[in-house]
Amino acid sequence: MDGASLPTPTSSRNLKREREDEDIDGVKERSSKLPTTCIKHQVHWALDGNLLLQFGDVRFKVHRSRLVSESPYFQELINASHGNPDDDYEYKEEIDLLVNSKKVIGGLDCYYFPQDCNDDLPNAEAFSVLLDAMNTGIDYVHTPPSFATIKALLNAANSLCVTRYVTFCTNFIKMEFPSEWRSIPETSSPMAIEGVLLGSRYLVLEKILPFTYYELARRPAGATSGGFQELNTLQLRKLINLQKHLSIQWDNIATTLEVDCSKGPPLKRQVCKTCHHPSLKLFLSARNAYPLDPILGTRRLLCTDWVTKKYCDSAAVEVQERLKTCASRIWAGLQGWLDEVKDEDETDGT
Residues of the chain where predicted confidence (pLDDT) is lower than 70: 1-36, 116-119, 221-226, 264-271, 344-350
SS3 content of the chain, % helix, strand, coil (to 5): 55, 10, 35
DSSP letter assigned to residue 28: B
For residue 328, how far is the Cα from the chain centroid?
24
pTM of the model: 0.78
Instruction: Report the SS3 class of residue 3.
Output: coil
DSSP element (H, E) containing 54: strand 51-55
**How would DSSP label each residue in 276-306?**
E---HHHHHHHHHH-TT-HHHHHHHHHTS-G
Helices H, strands E: what count in the chain? Answer: 15, 7
Rounded Cα distance, 195 and 42, in Å: 32
Instruction: Report the SS3 class of residue 33.
Output: coil
Note whether 109 and 52 are within 8 A (CB): yes
Overall residue count recorded for the chain in this entry: 350
For residue 283, how far is the Cα from the chain centroid?
36
Closest CA to 256 of 294, 288, 211: 294
Closest CA to 33 of 12, 57, 9: 9
Per-residue pLDDT of 207-237, as tens digits, reads: 999 999 999 999 876 554 567 889 999 999 9
DSSP letter assigned to residue 177: S
Give residue 90's pLDDT.
87
Give residue 276's pLDDT.
87
Instruction: Report the SS3 class of residue 146.
Output: coil
Rounded Cα distance, 76 and 274, in Å: 74
CB-based burial label for 54 (10 Å; 0-12, 13-18, 19+)? buried
**How would DSSP label each residue in 83-128?**
T---TT-TTHHHHHHHHHH-EEETTEEEEEE-SSS-TTS--HHHHH
Rounded Cα distance, 37 and 29, in Å: 6
**How would DSSP label each residue in 63-93?**
-HHHHHHH-HHHHHHHHHHTT---TT-TTHH
Give residue 22's pLDDT.
45
